[in-house]
Amino acid sequence: MKIGKYKVTLNYGILKGFLDVLGLLMAIVLTDLTRSYIGLNVFPDRALLTVYPDGVPLLRWLPGLILPAVGYIYTVLSVVYIFKSKKQPKRFSVDENNAQQYYDHLMYANSILRVLVLLAVWDYSYIIQMHLMYADISWFSIQVIGDIIVGTVTVLYIRSRIKTFAPLIAEKENE
C-alpha cells in the first residue's frame, strides 16, 4: 500500500483491533437480524398475520432491507479503502517521514466511522421493523444524532492530529 509514492504498512494496535473486531461482530449480527427479518416476512408469524391478514405488502417491508444493504456496502467500501493505495494528499505535506503516521490516522478514522455507520443502521433497522408492526415509535433517533456528532468530532480530531505532524501545504510554503 502506498500514500503517493511512499510505502506504508497496516499497523494494528489494541484499539484498532478492537474497533475492527467490533465492526465485524456488528456486521455479523446485522446479517442475522436481516436474515430473520426476511424470514419473518416470507413466513409471517401470528402477530404479523393479525396486522396483515393478506400478507405483508412489499412496500411495507422493503425499507427494512435497503438500510442493511447500505450498511453492508459501506462496510465493504471501508475494508477496500484499507488496502487501496492513496493519492498524495493535496492539502497536507506528507513525506517519507510521516506517511506511515498519516496512514495510521486515516485507518483509525475509517474504523471509528465504520462502527458509527453500523450503529446508525442498527438503530434505524429497529425503527423500520417497529413501524412494520404499526408501533407508535418516532422516526427521530437521538442515537443517530449522537453518531453524527461523534463522527464529526472524530473527523475534526483526526484532521487536527494530522496537522501536527503533516502541516497544511500553504502553511509549509509560508515558513
pLDDT in tens, 5-47: 889 988 888 988 899 999 999 999 888 888 887 877 777 777 7
pTM of the model: 0.80
pLDDT(173) > 70: no
Which of 80, 82, 78 lies closest to 121, judged by CA? 78
What are the residue boundaries of the structural domains of the chain, listed by start? 2-174
Q: Bigger pLDDT: 55 or 4?
A: 4
Residue 60: the pLDDT is: 75
C-alpha grid cell, residue 127: 425503527
Distance CA 158, CA 41 (A): 42
Q: At what angle do helices 99-132 and 63-83 cross, to 10 degrees?
A: 170
pLDDT, position 77: 93
pLDDT at 118 over 70: yes
47: CB partners within 8 A, 6+ apart: 133
- Neighbouring residues of 13: CB distance < 8 A, sequence distance ≥ 6: none
Cβ–Cβ < 8 Å for 51, 122: no
Write phi, then psi, for 135 (nearest 5 degrees): -70, 145
pLDDT at 76: 92
Encode pLDDT of 50-62 as tens digits.
877 877 777 777 8
Report the C-alpha gap between 64 and 68 in whole angstroms. 7
- The residue type found at 108 is Y
Centre a 10 Å sphere on the Cβ of residue 155 and count the other Cβ atoms it contains: 13
